Amino acid sequence: MLKIDIVSVQPGMFGGFLSESMVGRAVRKGTCEINIVDLRDFAHDKRRSVDDRPYGGGPGMLMTCPPWFEAVETLTGAPAGLPPEGTRVIMTSPAGRRFTQRDAEELSECGHIVFMCGHYEGFDARIDTIATDKFSIGDFVMTGGELAAAAMTDSVVRLLPGVLGGGPAATSDESFNREGLLEAPQYTHPAEFRGMKVPEVLLGGDHRRVDAWRKSQSRRITSETRPDMLA
């Protein structure tokens, strides 16, 4: 069973995420275990502080090394920087490598993931040494890593067997699949709505024609909206 620990200074942010979502259902079914860990539990002063001013000056505060090293060592049960096999320690950062569906697939096959949610101006650079990966979820800056960790968790958990209805096709016949294309347009009832008709080919029941149409639409949409994916 996949175990996910999300370390944060704002553990309250995950309430709705865990109770309302597909992820919450997967936890309740016992498909995965998700623990929200308060980084401040690893602070040692009365104020439970986890940040300090940056050397060399500059705006804001940085997250300090000691609580992060202790948290990751405690959660992985191994010295910082040497996680056991099958464990990934993921730092969230706008300066990380862009997270992709391939990463989600890879993570869905490991046994334990620890997500590190940054805050303030980010992490002391030495904290990088305890992460196995540093991921960004896009070219924009958020105030904290919680939404990034939630987004990555969602994309990983939905790939676990039995989480989505519809069997393996539910996750293989969609955008960023093995063919590297975006999904073709989809339609449901009614066959005509306010003058907009469902393409004829989808109504006929000829699966070979439907497949060919979907492939050509996938290529068209990908070249229109994400030409970089075809390059």
Ligand X SMILES: C[S@@+](CC[C@H](N)C(=O)[O-])C[C@H]1O[C@@H](n2cnc3c(N)ncnc32)[C@H](O)[C@@H]1O
- Judged by CB under 6 A, which of 92, 153, 155, 218 binds ligand X? 92
83 near ligand X, rule: CB under 6 A: no
11 near ligand X, rule: CB under 6 A: no
Binding mask 38-77 for ligand X (x = CB under 6 A): ----------------------------------------
132 near ligand X, rule: CB under 6 A: no
145 near ligand X, rule: CB under 6 A: yes
Residue at token pair 């000691």: 66
**Rounded least distance, CB 153 to ligand X, Å:** 13
- Judged by CB under 6 A, which of 65, 142, 164, 202 binds ligand X? 142
CA distance 94 to 90: 13
User: What is the side-by-side strand order in the sheet with 32-38?
Assistant: 32-38, 2-8, 112-116, 87-98, 133-136
5: tokens are 């620990």
* H helical segments located in 58-133: 65-76, 101-107
140 burial level (CB within 10 Å; 0-12, 13-18, 19+): exposed
- Judged by CB under 6 A, which of 136, 176, 185, 198 binds ligand X? 136
Binding region for ligand X (CB under 6 A): 92-95, 117-119, 121-123, 136-138, 140-145, 148
